[in-house]
Amino acid sequence: MGNHKKLQAWVSEVQAMCQPSDVAWCDGTKAEYDHMMQLLVDAGLATKLNEAKRPNSYLFRSDPSDVARVEDRTYISTKNKVDAGPTNNWLAPDELKTIMRGLYQGCMKGRTMYVIPFSMGPIGSPIAKIGVQVTDSPYVVANMHLMTRVGTRVLDTLGSTGEFIPCLHSVGKPLAPGQADNGVWPCAPIEKKYIAHFPEENLIWSFGSGYGGNALLGKKCLALRIASAMGHKEGWMAEHMLIVRLTNPAGRRFHIAAAFPSACGKTNLAMLQPTIKGWKAECLGDDIAWMKIKDDGRLYAINPEAGFFGVAPGTSYNSNPMAMDSIRANAIFTNCVLTDDNDVWWEGMDVPCTHGIDWKGKDWTPASGQVGAHGNARFTAPASQCPVICSDWENPEGVPIDIFIFGGRRTRVMPLVHQAMNWDHGVFMGATAASEPTAAALDVKSALRRDPMAMLPFCGYNVGDYWNHWFKMGDRLGNKAPAIFYVNWFRKNDKGKWLWPGFGDNSRVLKWMCERVEGKADAIQTPIGLMPKPQDLDLTGLDIPAEDLQELLKVDVNAFAGELEDLDNYMGKVGDRLPKRMKDQVAQYKARLGRG
């Protein structure tokens, strides 16, 4: 347990409050992982999968009330409400801690309290941070083994005085003497679930949920909500971004960080297989990027995670073969179908399943009338198992970012790709990223779901201050700032046909971006930004009709102008913290559209 007095005092304080039957310090070994899994199998909470088909892998079924992040029970707790901003739920720290201390009192009775020292990022990296999670869930311990770097090496790095982020978690289901879970997923009712962040103290408290982002506190809680606030104070960036390395035929490497809301192809892009000859893509991360400016003035990124926590439904050998290969062994599955041969299945896997046990533990066939796997069913697997993982993915110094990409899911209006005219314009593009609320919402005046930099649920402080931080980072980077682009893979024609093939063919758009960075490709100036000439997109081997390409690259000024009222309402919600530079960008955008 090391000799860190502050850490020992905190663990003792939590122990006294939560009253576990035992305390165990995690060492990160395989023996420990195997022990956790055996405990879970014995408790009826885990099913060991077919060892021949999927070695060392397990399936879990959660409670139906505990299947996803619960944003309405997630809080950013600052002394002043304005510091949390309009995009976050807020309660005052004293009030929230009083509520949660009441819930934590005796909440671990009958359970073991595990102390998990973990590193977000390669241990010892100048960009990494250390957290310590206390939990009463062996499921959390096992997942943290895959998603972070856990164990005694972390304590050694922490030493006796190092800084750590305390992360307190309980499933909120104490056990009476002689009682066991007996196959019932432990969690608290929804009204008692709280996921609380105290950015002024770099502190995380979570109660009542055993699921993913509510319970694996290194993920969204630390790596985005707390880290984004830390980055704001310390002058670095924590972003909801994949990181990919693209190498051209001449051997030049480009590092790309891209932010997309859910259902916009993020994992597919992270594990891209280019369809253009001579280009190679390697994955550095699929979800989160931490970035710092180094002595050479460039922005360097690490993936703070050690594993993938991906959405299973829709993942297949057709849509993402690299993800499928990543989960062939040593994986944890949650809320998938258990097949008759003791493997997992989900909708969109592109293989048949005629019978199984569904995510609720009930008999299932395709004729059952409901999905077999929950829509948010998940897999957890080590990133090292990805066939296209980059050799530098654990480089403690990180990789230099050349390109930022933002995107959303739009069937109309937004073209395939455009580039920011300058850094401030790029910040505006990221801040106004939007998707249509449903696939059927074809009216351009329909309300758009704005998701600034794909950080709407994850920004740990006022979104106006967050945008201002982006502007200031650009000032520091100067001419070494990454180029910024916006993509939309999801345009359809009037008959509902996809205009762009997507998946590996997205590499064709990335090629143009890289050539723009090199100064080798032209662009056309439009009111929304710089766009490729049709002949500058490498479409070799693709059969895209000229009219489809024209539609993909079309900028309909009237359609964009029709969204200005929505844009004004969106910006108005930020209130007094809206940066002047963002107001200037809005004004310039309106002027370019002829509506200034």
Q: Which residues contact 578 (CB under 8 A, 6 or more apart)?
A: 464, 467, 571
Is 459 catalytic? The answer is no
Give the active site residue among 264, 283, 353, 390. 264
Q: Which residues contact 209 (CB under 8 A, 6 or more apart)?
A: 66, 70, 171, 172, 187, 188, 193, 195, 215
**How far is Cα of residue 424 from the mean position of the Cα atoms in its chain?**
24
CA nearest 197: which of 222, 172, 215, 218?
Answer: 222
Structure tokens at 45: 């909470």
Q: Report d(CA 289, CA 256) in Å as an integer.
A: 11
Q: Judging by DSSP bridges, how do beta strands 363-364 and 356-357 pair with one another?
A: antiparallel
Q: Looking at this protein, which amino acid is placed at residue 314? A: G
SS3 409: coil
CA nearest 455: which of 272, 336, 288, 284?
Answer: 288
**Which residues are registered as beta bridge partners of 76?**
197
Contact 593, 529 (CB under 8 A): no
Q: Report d(CA 115, CA 261) in Å as an integer.
A: 33
CA nearest 46: which of 257, 338, 280?
Answer: 338
Contact 420, 460 (CB under 8 A): no
SS3 98: helix
Cα-based torsion angle of the residue sequence 221, 323, 417, 432 in order, rounded to the nearest 10 degrees: -20
**Which residues are registered as beta bridge partners of 168?**
134, 205
Structure tokens at 562: 């029709």
Distances (CA, A) of 363 to 371, 373, 564: 12, 12, 50
Q: Looking at this protein, which amino acid is placed at residue 480? A: K
CA nearest 288: which of 376, 374, 192, 222?
Answer: 222
Residues labelled as active-site residues: 264
